[in-house]
Structure 1
Amino acid sequence: MSETRSNQLEVTREKMIKCAIEKGILNNETIKLSEELDQLLNDFQYTDMSDTETKIEG
């Protein structure tokens, strides 16, 4: 995982946790951050799988 992507995931996760603690897990901002984190994780997983397939084929 690239350092930038790793940092982005960690920062978003920390924001989501802080928001959930301060505003609750059903708060719209918390949900938005959770969805953003989900998308980042999905993008990472897709990229990681593509990299693995390239290594296997190559």
Structure 2
Amino acid sequence: MINYEIEQKRLHLIETAKKFGMNAEETIRCSQELDMLLNKGIKSTSKDCSNKG
């Protein structure tokens, strides 16, 4: 589930950057949202790994 959200946000970020530029407020906001999703995914993955060990 989180991988799908990350991929969708990544695609949105690419389109936003193409449309508004790399330094646009909307692009930066989208990048920050992607960062949060990535961090969430990393935490979820490491939690799963620690439960298996």
Q: Same fold (TM over 0.5)?
A: yes
Identity %: 32
Q: How many pairs align?
A: 53
Local SS of the residue matching 2:23: coil
Cα deviation, residue 47, structure 1: 0.9
How far does the alpha carbon of each residue in 1:2-44 deviate from its partner, in whole angstroms, 9 at most, with x for none? xx22211111001100010111000001000000000000001
Aligned counterpart, 2:19: 22
- Structure 2, unpaired ranges of 5+: none
Higher RCO (C-alpha under 8 Å, 6+ residues apart): 2
Q: Which runs of 4+ in 1 moved over 2 A?
A: none
Give structure 1 stretches of 5+ with no counterpart.
none
Q: Which has the larger radius of gyration?
A: 1
What TM-score do you get using the length of structure 1 for normalisation? 0.85
Residue 48 in 1 paired to residue 45 in 2? yes
